[in-house]
Amino acid sequence: MSVFTEFSRIARSFAPQTAIVLGSGLGGVTAGFSEVATVSFADVPGLVQTTVQGHHGRIAVGHWHGTPTLLFLGRLHFYEGHSQDAVTAPIRRAADLGVKRLILTNAAGGIHPSLNPGSLMAICGHIKLIGPNAWRTLAVGTAVKMPYSSRLLERMCLLAGVYAALTGPCYETPAEIRAYAASGVDAVGMSTALEAEAAAELGMEVAAISCITNKAAGLSAAPLDHTEVLVNAKLAVDQLAALLGELIK
């Protein structure tokens, strides 16, 4: 019996209705999670191991304060060289295991004046700028219904804003950030949009939360780097953990 077959057997016996995807540096929110079984991305058919610091690349099943939950400790990113299908493969695996609700988290740069390091933003919409033809697709493409659940947005009681999902892995220039701000973007990152759309297509209820780890380029005097992201992600751990606990009840 393969590692994943055994994990799937245990996961199905738990019948988790909710899956949570943890973004960069957010593994510390799991104090309320009691793990029963885990599997590496590399042992899951159709998945590959993540290469990004701060992403463990594991799927776990257990109880989050007593509620059966599927937990993704890390995610795959388009900028790692994966296809969009590969990036969304974990979401399809969650659906295969019977998950009905997906809660996505990410580390993001704050553009809205109210979003400082350590604050949280509920994503109510996104602009997807992933891939070499991102701006062209945005200009000529058809409208896409936003996947985020209004019911879950109301339950979060956070500032709700628009997230721009960019190709990465480099950070944006100050001029780009000014352009995104003029387009109505409140926070910027390199994930989440593909996963949210895939989950909605599979019939899941979707919520997404950005943990603001830095001011976006040009909005502070400090240079941007991934170490800052990982350090500042810890500022919101307690608030995010409490929020996730409420959402999965």
Domain boundary assignment for the chain = 3-247
Q: Which residues are catalytic?
A: 24, 55, 77, 79-80, 107, 190-191, 214, 226
Asked if the model's pLDDT at residue 200 lies above 70, the reply is yes
What pLDDT is stored for residue 223 in this prediction? 63
| pLDDT grade for 13, boundaries at 50, 70 and 90 | very high
Contacts 24+ apart (CB under 8 A), 239-244: 239/120, 240/26, 240/29, 240/105, 240/120, 240/209, 240/211, 241/28, 241/29, 241/30, 241/31, 241/32, 243/120, 243/156, 243/158, 243/209, 244/20, 244/29, 244/64, 244/103, 244/105
Q: pTM to 2 decimals?
A: 0.92
Q: Which residue has the higher pLDDT, 54 or 83?
A: 83
User: What sign for the dihedral angle of Cα 172, 27, 193, 157?
Assistant: negative
The mean pLDDT of the chain is 89
User: What sign for the dihedral angle of Cα 72, 74, 75, 81?
Assistant: negative
The top-level CATH class assigned to 3-247 is alpha beta
